[in-house]
Amino acid sequence: MQKSNNINTTTATCPACGMLCDDINVSDPSANTCAKSISFFSQPITESSPTIAGKPVSLDEAVAKAASILKDAQHPIFAGLSTDLSGFRAAFNSAQQVNAPMMHINAESTWRNTKVLQSKGWQTTTLMEVKNRADVILCIGTDVVSHNPRFFERNVWNKEALFTNPQTRNIIYLGGEGLDTSHGVSPNGKQPTVLPCATKALPEITAALRALIQGKTLNTDSITGIAVKDLETVVTQLKEASYAVLIWVAKDFSFAHAELTIENITESVVTLNKESRAMALALGGSDGDTTVNYAHTWLSALAPEEHDLKQYDTVVWINSFSPEKPLPTTDAPIIAIGNSQTQFVTPPAVFIPVATPALDCAGTLFRVDSSIVLPLKQTRESALPTLSTVMNKMDALLT
């Protein structure tokens, strides 16, 4: 397989997190300020050929074997789906041919947000509006930067804000354990307000916050270790803000019925908007999950759901972006289509290495705030086939 070389580009969009920063220096990845970006653009290309049960074969042989397995399957599923828009659309067409459901690798966390959006709706903002307008930012149960490392750099302390002074923003951290709150310190040294509590206490804390915003009285002095008077101060700041933003990351809400906590946040925003101005913002995003969720809904009229992979007799596992993430645990044969650097403890039934969008091929992704679509440039030469190419070859054999 052909060795890789950087092609004629110096800046590009990074798909390593949902923010899709579009100012990344790809000629010298170490010059960037984000560890996720450095890791992504420093990936070497691997001379990897398709395999069947761990033995190298040609692309056509691997595709033929995969198609044969799918034809024999009674209940297949397409999962992982860590890819860009064109890759997902191609996978969707193949899944339709064999009547297979689809599930993204981040389904567990994204479904928490989807449940709230479906049942209650929400009022959300964009990264640009945060940058230009937000004067109070409430981070609930998350430090944000563990998921979106440049959030504060690009959207909070950015000097190019149009309608507010970034230096005077009030940053509040409510709930969460062991959070890195250092990014909430303004460039002039203004400290954030930090009200910590155990992550498992977030349902009670957000319910209390919602009640106080609604004007209700709490007959207690504290909620899970946070003084009610401190929560009341937060509520006052939110109500007096010109543009308050309440932020969460669904991946950090790993407890039962987390969607009810998200509902507390989004309904708090609804109440605040009766007399002031506030918006919600779900951050995080990785592996193209925002793009896949939107595209799946357009194409099927249904939001993607979480599935138990052990209930299916064949798994097509697609993972173009994240070679470090392992295959699912299942006794069913796995057709793995993904990043050429992927390592296996046990070889899958079929493995087909494909191009990674933003490295080996161009692509398209939705940003985590769903407001814009950004193009991904090809940043190096590669002989790897695209996921669309592989899916089209497979479709021809499934017809």
Are 268 and 147 contained in the same domain?
A: yes
Are 81 and 230 contained in the same domain?
A: no
Domain C-terminal end among 283, 318, 339: 283
Q: What percent of the chain has pLDDT over 70?
A: 98
CB 44 within 8 A of CB 71: no
The mean per-residue pLDDT over the stretch 153-176 comes to 95
Q: Which of 46, 79, 12 is nearest to 317 (CA)?
A: 79
Tell me whether residue 30 is in a domain.
Answer: no
Tell me whether residue 369 is in a domain.
Answer: no
Are 172 and 85 contained in the same domain?
A: no
Are 185 and 209 contained in the same domain?
A: yes
Long-range contacts of 226-235 (CB under 8 A, 24+ apart): 226/174, 226/195, 226/197, 230/195, 231/195, 231/205, 234/138, 234/172, 234/174, 234/193, 234/195, 234/209, 235/209
The mean per-residue pLDDT over the stretch 269-277 comes to 97
Are 269 and 206 contained in the same domain?
A: yes
Which tokens sit at 230?
């401190």
What 3 state SS string does 211-250 have? HHHCCCCCCCCEECCEEHHHHHHHHHHHHHCCCEEEEEEH
Helix, strand, coil % over all residues of the chain, rounded to 5:
35, 20, 45
Question: What pTM, to 2 d.p., does this model score?
Answer: 0.93
Structurally, how many domains does the chain consist of?
Answer: 2
Model pLDDT, residue 3: 39
Domain of residue 262 covers: 110-283
The per-residue pLDDT for range 96-132, each reduced to its tens digit, is 999 999 999 999 999 999 999 999 999 999 999 999 9
pLDDT at residue 95 is higher than 90: yes
pLDDT at residue 290 is higher than 60: yes
With cut-offs at 50, 70 and 90, classify the pLDDT of residue 4. Answer: very low
With cut-offs at 50, 70 and 90, classify the pLDDT of residue 2. Answer: very low
Q: What percent of the chain has pLDDT over 90?
A: 90
Are 161 and 276 contained in the same domain?
A: yes
Model pLDDT, residue 88: 98
Are 152 and 191 contained in the same domain?
A: yes
Are 69 and 153 contained in the same domain?
A: no
Q: How large is the C-alpha radius of gyration of the chain?
A: 23
The mean per-residue pLDDT over the stretch 168-197 comes to 95
Are 209 and 265 contained in the same domain?
A: yes
Strand partners, 245: 137, 279
CATH number at residue 318: 3.40.50.1220
CB 352 within 8 A of CB 66: yes
Residue 121 region by backbone torsions, left for phi larger than 0, else alpha for psi between -120 and 50, else beta: left
* Residue-averaged pLDDT of the chain: 94
21-60 in b/e form (b: 16+ CB < 10 A) is beebbbeebeebebebbbebbebebbebbbbbeeeebebe
CB 49 within 8 A of CB 1: yes
> What is d(CA 289, CA 252) in angstroms, rounded to the nearest whole number?
16
Model pLDDT, residue 31: 81
Domain C-terminal end among 283, 304, 321: 283
Q: 26-35, 216-225, 269-278, 367-376 — which is least confidently predicted?
A: 26-35
Q: Residue holding tokens 């010109």?
A: 242
